[in-house]
Amino acid sequence: MKPMFSMAALESAAAQVYAEMLPTPQLNWPLLSHRLGAETWVKHENHTPIGAFKVRGGITYVNELAAKGECSGIITATRGNHGQSIPFAARRHAIPVTVYVPEGNSTEKNAAMRAWGADLQVFGSDFEAARLEAIRVGAARGLHPIPPFDEMLVRGVASYALELFTALPDLDVVYAPVGMGSGICGLITVRDLLGLKTEIVGVVSDRADSYALSVAAGRIIGTETANTFADGMACRLPMQAPLDIISAGVARLVRVSDDQIAAAMRDYFTDTHNVAESAGAAPLAAATLEQGQLAGRRVGLILSGGNVDRDWFRQVLAGGTPQVP
């Protein structure tokens, strides 16, 4: 499959990202390696200015939009990290940003979006409802809609993968969470641009497994709900472009439960003293499930973000799993 973009375009996007943030580390944690029985490296996207990988795509998308000089306002929808990345990037261009979130969204992610300057609006019972309302309102008000997946977003996000594979080109397997697809599609594209043989394993929630269903069926399969506390993976309707890339580029997709994700959050804190949000811990949950296959291999885990509400994290550390309707 033809890559989404060229190496030159990726390097240009990475330069834009580094004008506003430092690269994040990839670290080998011996306790995690002992836990999995394999040399384990963590890509720490919880160490970005917004605590998640999404900031990279926000920077490149908004920079290119501003360079065209045609945008008086932006509108988008999110469960949280994308909705922080866009106002973060838009501040330097003085472009106002409206962000739609569903009811019951993370209170602390909502607060962070407002702090970055977003006009936050709450609508609908899940991300898909909020996304459709953002599209409707944007069209009525003449605002530029930023979708959850776009080549400009993926180019910026892919800078994390360039850092990882430049530092560790001989990784045997990398586990990455799957939400709307920008993170794992960036990972797949960079691997292919560099000509590496690394297996990429996508991780979905068993309560939001539309991408796993769609890859298996060879067409888009939506689900009625996506009621997982792993809000960054709460997708119930895939998009065709990321589905095509994921179908062609992953070795497999692994489903993990909310209980397994919560256990992985505890393991991250115990072994590294890093806070992992639910989607960020999902790759460790999947690697733990596949532990028997990992002996003697070099393993990468994408810790995509660390933005978890205090009340939820308190429940997790106490041995519980936050419940969503």
Which pLDDT does position 139 carry in this prediction?
Answer: 95
C-alpha 131, offset from chain centre: 17
Residue 130 CA to residue 166 CA, distance in Å, equals: 37
Would you state the pLDDT for residue 1?
Answer: 82
Q: Which long-range contacts (CB under 8 A, 24 or more apart) does 292-296 make?
A: 294/36, 294/37, 294/38, 294/173, 295/37, 295/38, 296/38
Provide the 10 A C-beta neighbour count for residue 69.
7
What is the Cα–Cα distance from 285 to 289, expressed in whole angstroms?
6
Q: What is the pLDDT along the chain (325 residues), one digit of tens a residue?
A: 889 999 999 999 999 999 999 999 999 999 999 999 999 999 999 999 999 999 999 999 999 999 988 788 999 999 889 999 999 999 999 999 999 999 989 899 999 999 999 999 999 988 889 999 999 999 999 999 999 899 999 999 999 999 999 999 999 999 999 999 999 999 999 999 999 999 999 999 999 999 999 999 999 999 988 889 999 999 999 999 999 999 999 999 999 999 999 999 999 999 999 999 999 999 999 999 999 999 999 999 999 999 999 999 999 999 999 998 7
Tokens of 230: 């792993």
Answer for the pair 79, 234: CB distance below 8 angstroms, yes or no.
Answer: yes
According to the model, what pLDDT value does residue 26 have?
A: 98
DSSP states along 8-21: HHHHHHHHHHHTTS
Q: What is the pLDDT of residue 71?
A: 87
Residues whose CB is less than 8 angstroms from the CB of residue 12 and which lie 6 or more positions away in sequence, other chains included? none
Instruction: Check residue 274 and report its DSSP letter.
Output: -
* Nearest alpha-carbon partner for 86 in 125, 132, 134: 134
Structure confidence at residue 305 (pLDDT): 97
> Which H or E run includes 203?
strand 199-205
What tokens were used for 18? 């580094």
Which domains are assigned to the chain?
A: 7-53+151-317 (3.40.50.1100), 55-146 (3.40.50.1100)
Specify whether the backbone of 208 is left (phi greater than 0), alpha (psi in -120 to 50) or beta: beta
pLDDT computed for residue 127 by the predictor: 86
